[in-house]
Amino acid sequence: MAILQADALEFITRSAGQTRRLGLRLGKQLRPGDVLALEGDLGGGKTTFVQGLAAGWGSTDAVSSPTFVLVNVYRRGDGRRLYHVDAYRLSGPAEAWDLDLPALAEEAPLVVEWADMIAEALPPDRLTIRFVWLGESQRALTFHPHGERPRALARALRAAILRGV
């Protein structure tokens, strides 16, 4: 069920498949410059969501958590890239600046897990997605858009859910 309050959009997923499908719907909307900041506890569903996101964006690459490599790159047939960053092992924003995340975001969609750990290093216009573990298979995902393009992404996701596409 989706709830839209002010700019926030909230979904409760009841399986990993539903979490992936939510990512798939948002992935279809992504374009270079889009920044998704994923926050939440370990096991909250962030990587599962990114699996759907990458598929919806058009990549057939296998998606895994980039915890030890920091950045995974997913490609699609036209050569475009999607960057998937994991900030868990970074000591803070200073290390994130070395990755030059704003430059990555200019050329491709950028998805950052554990984004709250490096928030100052991220572009201010971003769609923050908070993942909360509710139980064995349930997750609450809350989308908080910061900026006009992220608001448009949240509206497009809501419309896709309502249309069933």
How confident is the model over 71-83, as pLDDT tens digits?
889 999 999 999 9
> pTM (2 decimals)?
0.90
Structural domains of the chain, with CATH: 3-138 (3.40.50.300)
Band of pLDDT at residue 17, cut at 50, 70 and 90:
very high
Distance from C-alpha of 158 to C-alpha of 76, rounded to nearest angstrom: 25
Distance from C-alpha of 122 to C-alpha of 136, rounded to nearest angstrom: 31
**For 149-159, how does the pLDDT look when each residue is reduced to its tens digit (9 = 90+)?**
999 999 999 88
Contact 143, 9 (CB under 8 A): yes
Contact 39, 132 (CB under 8 A): no
